[in-house]
Each structure stands twice: as C-alpha cells, then as structure tokens.
Chain A
Amino acid sequence: MASLKLEHIYKVYPNGTKAVNDVSLDIKNGEFIVFVGPSGCGKSTTLRMIAGLEEITAGELYIDNQIVNDVEPKDRDIAMVFQNYALYPHMTVYENMAFGLKLRHVPDDVIQEKVLWASEILGIKDYLDRKPRAMSGGQRQRVALGRAILRDPKVMLLDEPLSNLDAKLRTQMRTEIAKLHQKLKTTFIYVTHDQVEAMTLGDRVVVMKAGRIQQVDTPKNLYDYPSNIFVAGFIGTPQMNFFDCTLLKENDDILIKFKNENVQLKVPYNRLIKVNPDYLDGKHPIILGIRCEHVHLTDKDDDLAIKAKISRFEELGSETLIYATLSDEDDSIVSEKGQIIIKSDRINELKPNETICIKFDLSHTYFFDKVTEETITPRLPKENVFDARLSDKELEFLGMHFALPLVLQGKHVEKASLIIPVDAFRIDENGVCVKVIDKEVINGFKLYHLLVNNRVFFAVLNEDLDVEAEIKLSFDYSKITVKKDDDNIIKPIQKYDEYKASFYNYQTVISKGDFAEFTKLRDEKIKSATQFMDAQILLENNEYEKKRLALTDLSDEEKSKLEQQLKEFIDKNRGEIKEIKAEAKKQSAELKSNFTSLKKKLKSDNDHLFDQKKADEIKEFNEFKKNNKDKDALKRRSDEYHIFKDNFQSEKENTLNLAINSATMDYEAKISSLNASTRRKISLLKKEIHEKKKEYNYRVHGEKSLLKEHVKRLKILESKRKDAIERASLVFFFKIENDCFALLSDIISNKLIQGLGTRVFSKEFKVEVPHDAYHMSDSTNSIKGTVVDNLDYESALFAKIKLQSSDKYVYVKVDESLQVGQTVSFEIDVSKSMITETGMNIRLY
C-alpha cells in the first residue's frame, strides 16, 4: 500500500512527440484510480512510466514520498497486469505465480502458502498445475491477477486487463476486480478505454486526451461537472447533445440564442449565476451541452420550450432514445446539425416526423467556450464582475463605497466593470456586511455564495462559516482589475516576476570570481556527509565486536555431534528425495501405459463406429435405388451418397483426432502436474538441507561466518560513504539575468538534472519569482536595480524596481517604503520560484 505522486511528468520521444504532457496527480493510499481516454492519449504510457518500463523524460514520480525515477521496475515494489496476460507459457500456473517470489529468494514454504492463498481468492486452485495454454481467457487473466497480488505490492497497475475478454466475462471480471480491491485495499491504477469500466470501478477517474489530463474527479463529478467539451462528450452514453449558441445578458435575464436553429431561450440570470461574466456579451461563440436525460418532453408551449421534429427512434428495451432535429430546413441524413437525442418512456404516442415540445433542465445545462473548449461555468469560479464607479478616492459598486489606497487614487471613471478574483476576499472587521447563502467544498477549497443587495457573488475563504451567517468582508486591492471598454484602468500586479537563467556547475562559478561563501558552504556539506557516514561505519564495527564477543566456543565433542546430526539429516532427506523420484517415475509410467491403451481403444471404437456408418449408408442407398424409380430423386440421392463417400475418410480421421487430442491434453496436464509437484517437494527438501548446512556452519565456524558478513557490510558502507561525499561535493547554480549566481538546493538541482541530463547546461530557463521570495542583501553577488516607485496597497507594500542589467521592472514586497531613485541590491530565494525550461516548455520545479 502506498501513495503516489506524479509531478509534471513528461514523455517526449526522440522524434519530438509529446506522448505525455505535464501530468501531475496525487494518488492516495488505497485508492482505485482509473485512467481513461481514447487510444493514443498517453494513458498507457503514463502507466508504463509508473511501472518503470518507460523512461520519464522530465518530472518526478514519487512512491511513498520517495523519488523513483531511476529505480528499476523490480525495486519499485509494484505489480502489473498486462492486456495480453503475459504469462510464461512454459511454466505451470503455480510456477507462473511463484516466479516473482522465487527470484526474490522467498522460502519455498512461504511461496506455497501465498500461491494457495491467491489461487483461493481467484478461484483457480484446481488449475495450479496446468499450463496457460490449457486455460480459457478469463482463467488466464485470473492467473495474471494472482501473480500480481501474490507479492503484496505497494501499487497494482492494470493495463486494459479486460479488453481481450468477451462482453459477458468482462462484466464478471469487472466485479471481481472491484471485490479484489475491497479485499486487498491496495492502491490500484487501472487503464482502460471503456468509460463504463472507468465509471464503475474508479474512486477517481483521470480523463486524458492527447497526453494531457483533462479532468480528475470522482465518476459522479465527472458526469455532473465536466470541465471541458471533451470530458462532457466522452463520459455518458449516448453522447451529450451540443449546440452552438451565444449568451446575452439583458438586465436580470439571459438570452440563449441558438446559432443554427433560429431558436431563443430566455432564462433568469440567477439560474446561470456561475457563468463566466466575460461570455455574457452576446458575441463569444459558446457551445451549450445537455444530456439526453435532462431533456424533457412537455405539453406547454411557453418561453422555456423548444420545438423539435422527431426523425427516428432507438429502442433500448428499458427506455427509448428519440432522435429529433431542431432545425426544420436541414433534412439530409448525414447532418448532425441541430440533432438532439432525448431519453423518454413516453414512446407509444409518438411517431416519426411529428413535432414535439421539449424543455431543458437548466440546472444540468453546460456551457463551453467554443474556442478553448473549456467550461465557462466552472465549479470554482475565478472572479466576480460588478458594475462600478471610480471617483477620485473612492470605488463604488453594488451601492457600497470603498476608500481607495493611495496608489490607486486619482482616476475618474463613470461606468466601469470591476473584476475581483474569488480569492481576493478576506474577512475584515472594517469591511462591509454580507450574507452567506450557500457553501461548497471543491477539491479542498471552501467556496461561499454570498449575497449583498440582491446580488450573488463568490468568495473562497479559509474560515469555516455557516450558511445564513452574516460576515464582514473586504478585499485585496492589489488583485482587482477595473475595466472600461477593454481598457484596463487598474491592473493587478503580476503574480510572478520573470527572470532568464542558465545552469552552472561549481567549478565554473568559482573560476568566475571570488565567492568565499559558496566554497565554505560546499566544504561544510562535504564535512557533514563524511561525519554521518563515519558514524555509521563505527556503529557497524561496534555491532560486529559485540556479536563476536557473544560467541561461545564449542568443544570438539559437541562439534562432532553436530556434524553427525547434520549428516543424518542430509542422509534422511536424500533418501526421501530418492523415494519421491521413484514414486514419480512409477506414476508417470502408469499414466503413460494408461494413455497408450486409451489411444488404442479410442481408435478401435472409432473404426467400429465408422464401419457401422458406412455399412448403413451403403445399405440405405441400395435400398433407395431398388425402390425408387424417379430419375431426378435417384440422381440427387446418388450425389449425396458420393459426397458421403468422399468425405468419409477425412471425417473419420477428424473424429479420431479430436478424441485423441482431448485425451492427450488430459494426459499432458496430468504429467505436468505430477512433474511439478515432484519438483516442488524435492526443492523443498533440498532447501532444508541447505539451511541446515548454513546453521551448522554458523554454530561450528561462528567467527568466520560473522567476519565474512561484517566485511561484506563494511564494503557496502565504504562505497556508500564514497558516494555520499561525491554527491555532497556537487553544487550547482543558476546564473540569473547575466547578473548574479543563485545557489540551488540539492532538491532543485536533482530535479533539473533528472529532467534534462547533461543538456541542462545548454538550456535556458525561465524563473518565475513570487514577490515575497526576495531578500535585501549587500553582498557583491546580488541583483541590482533602481527603485522607481512605491506601491502602497494598505495591506501590502511593493517596491517597483528597474533592473540594472536589463530594462525589466520587478515588484518586491517590502516592509517599509524605499526611497525612489535609490539603488538597491537583493537576492532571490529560488526554492520559492517556479522553473520552466523554455525550449520545450517543460515545467521542472
């Protein structure tokens, strides 16, 4: 059992194709995650990267908080089930399942116990000694599952395990896999292209397309809140209905205008409150989506009803799908334009070509941007838009007045729109009074629906609030935007400052100047690593000494006694082995003779049967010839007779072969079962001998074996020490804006090097620094700039600084205002920043 974390994982093939593109995902312990998407979307590649069968181009994979990018598949403690089972055909089911444990040198009795346990769970206990080829597809897949669960892995990976099975077996195995997960409580990662499997199995489902994650959510949320057109269309059968339309806000109503169908709907604004306000201008092309079960037939022909013409029906047994079209003109068969699918049980009264009235369930209607294909009704809205008035020192919206901070004063706009991000709000004693009317928890964020002056808006707050509570609220002025006809009158400060950077190693940096602090730092790092490893070696030495002193010498008499015991034991076991072998030989000879006689019997039976058949046919034909004078009938009968004669020999052979084949299969299964069980018994006995010998050695030559182990461990420790020192001596830097060097922590440099290899030195990076990641410094190795302005937002104070080396402006969060025109120098804390490789646009940190 383990948790998994994928951080900005990329897979780029040598020809430049990005098979997996910036996949980040947190998988909790014991979760059942399903990757779903059309073929070629990168879901299998992602799984294979988790398994270690494909190299990760960039990004990190954590299993249980350990980076495993460079860990071999066998050491990741994962198990995988393949689409084509991948059983070893020359081994029996038992050996197939035991193979992994055998390679890990697990004792044979433990293996036996585990195999029996797994086969019990999966119901393949009776087939343990069969070879895979003598099993059906479902049984083979069960063996593959058994092989996987046997090792009790941290993560189970299943790569389309059911797609080679037929429909009925698939449903059955699906249930079995779900049960297996409940029983084992291991983390399961399951790849499929079948949305039914995804929806029924997954705790959470990852929908992928073209190497990118489209949405990660529970099956229910995927269905209820698709984040883009792809997810909306992919999840649910039949597919969601889509229509081109535009939205226009008219006072308290919204006008939905269908583009191709000449249909309009008028809806109250409060029902579509979450729609991104940018799109309510009647210009943006929008796609409206609605599922067939949310379209209802209605008798009333009012504002909310739409007329449609039925084109055909599709009976599904329990319900009926009605295919109808909204546009009257288009009658061509191929056209999907204006087509709508409706689920209904009121089928009897309807006929094709009839016009019906339908009504959309507006709480289950989805709107998407036609260009970006993203939803414009996000569960978590980004911002609120208000009509506002900006006067000299005051901001007025929703009938409330706010005093502007110093930096924003001095602008005068009559009718503007004010955009406040949902995370810009905070509870403040001096703020305005609002009422909480609803609360949603989405991915850990608490989203509150607030009401003031009959207007609903949204805020994300950290505090736990009750519905109906009254709170006092204010907002962060540095995050707001004020717009007038597409002109930004007030702009928020960018979240990050951007710098260009390149990667340097220690030697290069040292050669460029005198950086005493870096040298000192490196020396300290090496020193601490050395000390740590030395301590470990000392510990091992002490341990060895302790064990050595605890040894007691045995007298010669005792030694010989032990030797005698060992000899006896070995003789006894060898005798048993001989017996087992003889027994097996006897049994196999018996089986063989049985088989030979059976074959003979089958042949004679068959001969007899077919002789009889032939005689009957001849007799019948002759009689027919004698009694029937009709020429046509006679000819037909004679043809039949000749066909019989021609086919007689081959039919006879086929029947015999069929019988012999099944007998052979049976015989082979018995023989292989016999061999396998003999082998198993013998190896168990041999293992016992080996262990006894080892024990004897330890008792008699205690010091020698102890020393041997000690030397072995010491050697490992020594090499570890060497490694640690070498690793500690590696220090890397970023050269930022050709100006200064910033030390990179081990974590960051590891990530960069892992992601890019030696290419790291030739690439350019973009470093995005948040405003609070600066600190002033007077060292020579720092970025220098001139203060241009102080921006006072009351809640925070920023200094606008122009860099000396380039014409860039950056914003530094400061505690007290700096003198304008003053030259300052500061350093960057890279660990708080985001690092992106600019060439391939790969996010690395």
Chain B
Amino acid sequence: MTDLSLGKKTSRYRSHKRAVLTRNIFLYIFLTIISIIWLIPFVYLIFQSLSSIYSPSNFMPYLPTEENIANGYPVWTFENYVKLFTDTNYPFWKWYLNTFVISLVTMIIQTVLVLGTSYALSRLRFKGRQGIMRLILVLGMFPGFLSTIIIYFTLQLFHMESNIFSLILIYIASSAMQYYIAKGFFDTIPKSLDEAAMIDGANKNTIFFRIIMPLSKPIIVYTLLISFTSPWGDFMTASYIAGGNPSMMTVAVGLQQMITLTQRVEMFPTFCAGGVVVAIPIMILFFWLQKYYVEGITGGAVKG
C-alpha cells in the first residue's frame, strides 16, 4: 500500500512540476513584452538625444559616415549635450543649479518635518490626534493645483511671488501631510524601546535621534528620495513662480520652454539631452542610498 501511494505521489509531483514550468514560460514571455514596451520611451529618449537632427520617425540614428550625413540622415553625435550647456539663449546651467538647490533644501527640511510629524503621531497621545490625522488625509485628497491661485496671491502679499525660496516654502509647507508611510513604519518599532530609553534617562530628542533614527534607515531613505524627486520634477508650481523669467526657471519649466517656442524642430534633440541629464542626479541619489535600504535592521530588539 505504501509503495502504491508513493508511486502515485511522485508521478503527481512530476506532472505538477511540468504545469508550473509551462505556466512560468507564458508568464515570463508576457512580462518581457510589457517591460520592453515600458522601456521603449526611455531608450527612444536616449537615442534622440544622441541624434544629430530631429527625425522622430527614426528610432535609432545612423552611423556617422560621409554618405549618411550627405543624405540628411540623423547620425550619432554628442553635440546636443555640448549645446545644452553652451547655448546662450537657454541658461541650462542656471536652471540646473536652481532646481538642485531647491530640491536639496526641500529634501532636507521636508525629511526632518515628515519624520518628526510621523514620530509624534505614532508615539505621543494628545487630544485631537485622530482628528488631525483624518483631516490631513482628507486634505490630501484634493488635487494640489486647486490652491495654486490662492498661494500665488498670498505670496504676492509678502512680495515673494518671484523668488526661488518661495518655491521651497511652498514645497515644504505641506510636508507634514506625508506622514502616513513613515508613521506606519514607526508603529512597527516596539514602544518598549522608547520606554527603556526613557528609564535609561533619555528625553524625547535623545530617543528620536539616538534610538529611533538609527533603526529607521529604510524609511529615512524613502523619505529623502520622495522629497527630492517631487520638487525636482515639479512643473506647475515652478512655472507660475518663474513667470517667464529664464533666470528663475527650474529644469522642468526651462525644458518645456525649449520646445514650445518656434524652434521646436531645431531644439528637440537638445531637449532630449536635457531629459537625460535631469535623470542623472536622481539615479546617483538612488544608488547611493540603496545600500541603506536594507530591511530587518530591528532584528534582536525584542523577542524574535
């Protein structure tokens, strides 16, 4: 009897294996197709930025032979990148610096605010805590641009309507509203750690900076990334604060200027080059922070 059941079991086991294999093959083919579709725009952007002339119908530039150039085909070139940084009509350097300063300052202040708020909402018990949390959630459901005009008039009252620091102000003003994910993370850190530190003689600051922060690297990294990328890529607020003044623009606004004007055809490859350059800092930031993005750092704090 045992022999029989064993034989049956193993044969079923093998057929199951085969079914899994077939299913996986289809799944992987499907996923590969989707990822190719998803990657095409990026690849296209890079190729266009390396192309000598605007020719949207050609996916890839041709080799830079005499013949191809003579025929007017787009060929491989690096000139667009040079042009991007040297063109006097479009102060790309200036935009880049603007955006970088704004994003960096916003990133730092916003991270501090978000983490502080989240910790407070996670650990402190005060009247109206639930109410505040719900209110913030509801407020967050309104699209941000609804308040654009009011914000502009408010800034005008203080004569700050065309100033890159007012952009920083706008970005960080609502940073506490992003408490939700970080609060969820802090909720998973056992409260008894706080209490142990309290008895050890730590005040709230010490607990936050010396106990909680070292344990929260993943969420710090996450918050840093999010709060860097959102001003980095923001278009709407930046465009109305800039008000058409080229020295006040951020990269998003500037690049958009590049192709809305008459020289769209001429500037398109340069625009693509700008797009690639814009992606670089975020990539660097991500790869640099990624190593801190490891989980399981709380292991051993409490019974595991």
User: Which residues on A are within 8 Å of B, measured CB to CB?
Assistant: 51-53, 72-74, 78-80, 82-90, 99-100, 103-104, 131-135, 137, 140, 147, 164, 632, 635-636, 639-640, 642-643, 646
Binary contact track B119-162/A, C-beta < 8 Å → 1, others 0: 00000000000000000000000000000000000000000000
User: Contacts A51-B199, A80-B196, A636-B7 known; A86 to B302 CB distance under 8 Å?
Assistant: yes
Q: Indicate if B206 sits at the interface (CB-CB under 8 A).
A: yes
B300 proximal to A (CB < 8 A): yes
What 3 A-B pairs are tightest by C-beta distance, nearest first? Answer: A133-B300, A100-B200, A132-B300
With both beta carbons as reference points, the residue of chain A lying nearest to B214 in the complex is identified as A90
Q: Are A636 and B214 in contact (CB under 8 A)?
A: no
A52 to chain B: which residues have CB within 8 Å? Answer: 198-199
14 A-B pairs with CB atoms under 8 Å apart are A52-B199, A74-B198, A79-B199, A82-B192, A84-B190, A86-B302, A88-B193, A88-B301, A89-B300, A99-B197, A635-B7, A636-B10, A642-B10, A643-B13
Q: Among A89, A103, A643, point to the contact of B299 (Cβ < 8 A).
A: A89
| Extra A-B contacts (15), CB below 8 Å, given A82-B192, A640-B10 | A51-B199, A52-B198, A53-B199, A74-B199, A74-B200, A78-B199, A82-B196, A82-B302, A84-B302, A99-B202, A133-B300, A137-B303, A632-B3, A636-B6, A639-B11
Contact across chains for B300 and A131 when beta carbons are under 8 A apart: yes
- B14 within 8 A of partner (CB): yes
CB-defined interface of B184-209 with A at 8 Å, one 1/0 digit per residue?
00000010110111111111001000
Instruction: Tell whether B297 is near chain A: CB-to-CB under 8 Å.
Output: yes
Cβ of B192 and Cβ of A86 under 8 Å apart? yes
Docked-complex contact B200 and A147, CB < 8 angstroms: yes
Is A639 touching B192 in the complex (CB atoms < 8 A)? Answer: no
Q: Are A103 and B7 in contact (CB under 8 A)?
A: no
Residues of chain A within 8 A of B10, CB atoms compared: 636, 639-640, 642-643
A103 contacts B301, CB within 8 Å? no
Q: Which B positions have Cβ atoms within 8 angstroms of A?
A: 3, 6-7, 10-11, 13-14, 17, 190, 192-193, 195-203, 206, 211, 214-215, 297-304
A80 touches B11 (CB 8 A): no
Asked whether B301 lies within 8 Å of A86 as measured between CB atoms, the reply is yes
Contact of A639 among B7, B206, B303 (CB under 8 A): B7
Q: A74-B200, A74-B202 are in contact. Are A639 and B14 (CB under 8 A)?
A: yes
**A53-B203 Cα distance, complex, nearest whole Å:** 13
- A74 nearest CB neighbor, chain B only: B201
Chain B residues whose CB sits within 8 angstroms of the CB of A632 once the complex forms: 3, 7
Q: Kindly report which residue of chain B lies nearest to residue A99, judged by CB atoms.
A: B200
Q: State the Cβ distance, B277 to closest chain A Cβ, in Å.
A: 36
- Select one of B6, B206, B301, B303 contacting A164, CB under 8 A: B303
Q: By CB atoms of chain A within 10 A, which of B7, B14, B199 has the most? A: B199
CB-nearest residue of chain B relative to A132? B300
CB distance from B220 to the nearest CB of A (A): 13
CA distance A78 to B299 in the complex (A): 27
Q: Nearest Cβ in chain B — how far from A693, in angstroms?
A: 25
Given known A-B contacts A80-B199, A86-B195, A639-B10, A135 and B190 have beta carbons under 8 A apart: no
CB-contact partner of A82 in B3, B195, B211, B214, under 8 A: B195
Query: With a CB–CB cut-off of 8 A, which chain B residues contact A103?
Result: 200-202, 206
Interface centre among B190, B197, B198, B303 (most CB of A within 10 A): B303
**In the complex, are the beta carbons of B301 and A89 less than 8 A apart?**
yes
| B215 lies within 8 A of A100 (CB) | no
In the bound complex, residues from chain A placing their C-beta under 8 Å from that of B200 are 74, 99-100, 103, 147
User: How far apart are the CA atoms of A161 and B184 in the complex, in Å?
Assistant: 28
Q: When the two chains form their complex, are residues A87 and B206 in contact, meaning their CB atoms are under 8 A apart?
A: no
Q: Are B199 and A73 in contact (CB under 8 A)?
A: yes
The one of B193, B201, B202, B304 that contacts A133, using a Cβ cutoff of 8 Å: B304
Q: With CB as the reference atom, state the residue of chain A lying closest to B125.
A: A14
Chain B CB within 10 Å, residue with most, of A78, A90, A135: A90
- Measured CB to CB, the closest approach of chain B to A579, in angstroms, equals 28
A89 lies within 8 A of B195 (CB) = no
Q: A80-B196, A646-B17 are in contact. Are A85 and B303 (CB under 8 A)?
A: yes
Contacts of A85 in B (CB 8 A): 301-303
Which residues of chain A are within 8 angstroms of B195 by Cβ–Cβ distance?
51, 53, 73, 80, 82, 86
Which chain A residues border B299 with CB–CB below 8 Å?
89, 133
A617 to chain B, nearest CB (A): 16
* Bound CA span A595–B195, Å: 38
Which single residue of chain A is at the shortest CB-CB distance from B302? A84
Residue picked from A82, A147, A635, A642, most chain B C-beta under 10 Å: A82
- Least CB separation from A90: chain B residue: B214
Minimal beta-carbon separation of A513 from chain B (angstroms): 39
Chain A residues whose CB sits within 8 angstroms of the CB of B197 once the complex forms: 88, 99
CA A133 to CA B304, docked complex, whole Å: 8
Closest to A98 in B: B200
- A86–B304 CA distance with the chains assembled, in angstroms: 11
Q: Are B301 and A87 in contact (CB under 8 A)?
A: yes
CA distance A46 to B202 in the complex (A): 22
Instruction: Given A84-B302, A131-B300, A639-B7, check contact A104 B215 (CB 8 Å).
Output: no
Which of B13, B193, B202 touches A86 (beta carbons < 8 Å)?
B193
- B206 contacts which chain A residues (CB < 8 A)? 103
- Closest B residue to A137 by beta carbon equals B303
Q: Within the assembled complex, what's the spacing in Å between the Cα atoms of A103 and B198?
A: 11
Q: Which residue of B lies closest to A100 (CB)?
A: B200
Residues of chain A contacted by B304 (CB below 8 angstroms): 133
The answer to whether A90 touches B215, judged by C-beta atoms less than 8 angstroms apart, is yes
Chain B residue at minimum C-beta to C-beta distance from A48: B195
Min CB–CB distance A636 → chain B (angstroms):
6
CB distance from A399 to the nearest CB of B (A): 66
In the bound complex, what is the Cα–Cα distance between A82 and B200 (angstroms)? 13
**A86-B190, A103-B206 are known contacts. Are A135 and B300 too (CB-CB below 8 A)?**
yes
A147 to B202, CA, bound (A): 14
Which partner residue on chain B sits nearest A144 by CB separation?
B196
**Considering the chains assembled together, what is the distance between the CA atoms of A87 and B300 in angstroms?**
7
